Amino acid sequence: MDQNNEGNLSHVQRVVLVLSGKGGVGKSTITTELALALRHAGKKVGILDVDLCGPSIPRMLNVGQTDVHQCDSGWVPVYTDAQKSLALMSIGFLLEDPDDAVVWRGPKKTAMIGQFVSDVAWGELDVLLVDTPPGTSDEHLAVLENLKKHRVDGAVLVTTPQAVSTGDVRREITFCKKTGVKILGIIENMSGFVCPHCSECSNIFSKGGGEELAKLTGSVFLGSVPLDPLLSTSIEEGKDFIQSFPDSATFSAISSISQTLLSSLQTA
């Protein structure tokens, strides 16, 4: 297993965990949009979707139900474009029906995560983003234990502006510190609502909680992403928001965050 792990991840330059303290903060959306932004910046990107609670990234990238094929070195990831610049492997590909729930006990979950981390033949990648389940659990430890055989360059934490969400992210920060994972930065998602008619931004869930949390914990604040109906529609329809709406404020926010993340990874 170790040998296979080393072989399949040896050409992956950077590995980034995407974490959230609770569900419903848009972690998978942020993972998807970061991957698209990095791809448009000329990077070869992979997404490992091990969110057992809700593997939604295949739908967000309009991949749908896809059979997982194998090669000599393991599972072949699903490529979302002809240039093979964005690769995806999701737990959702293993479900017979996309509406099926993953009703597995801990040991089976841990074994599957270990296989996912070690047995995917990624090839050459600049960045591998790992979309994890919400919270801190056995699944996170399984991801870390298997990835650390190769490398983990750090974690991006996703929160919404409210105090209840930032409080949960504090626990995620503690988890990172206890497990020795570098915090690359905090992203505040759903930071205001962009009106589809006038483009004015209104603060529905308050604003600035993520930035304040970054200051209090000495973490990098990567930026904020507003609630944008155009982004929501793109995600629902599996379209590339970054390509479709390059003039939007949301595009600017995501692009800026991805560039800041790349800069952090270069010094990681």
Nearest to 148 by CA among 47, 8, 15, 12: 15
Q: Is 135 known as a binding-site position?
A: no
Q: Is 22 known as a binding-site position?
A: yes
Q: Is 180 known as a binding-site position?
A: no
Q: At what angle do helices 27-40 and 229-237 cross, to 10 degrees?
A: 90
Q: Is 192 known as a binding-site position?
A: no
Q: Is 26 known as a binding-site position?
A: yes
Q: Is 23 known as a binding-site position?
A: yes
Q: Is 24 known as a binding-site position?
A: yes
Instruction: Work out the burial of residue 231: count CB atoms within 10 Å of its CB; fewer than 13 is exposed, 13-18 middle, 19 or more buried.
Output: buried
Q: Is 182 known as a binding-site position?
A: no
Q: Is 198 known as a binding-site position?
A: yes
Q: Is 209 known as a binding-site position?
A: no
Annotated binding-site residues read: 21-28, 195, 198
Annotated binding-site residues for [4Fe-4S] cluster read: 195, 198
Annotated binding-site residues for ATP read: 21-28
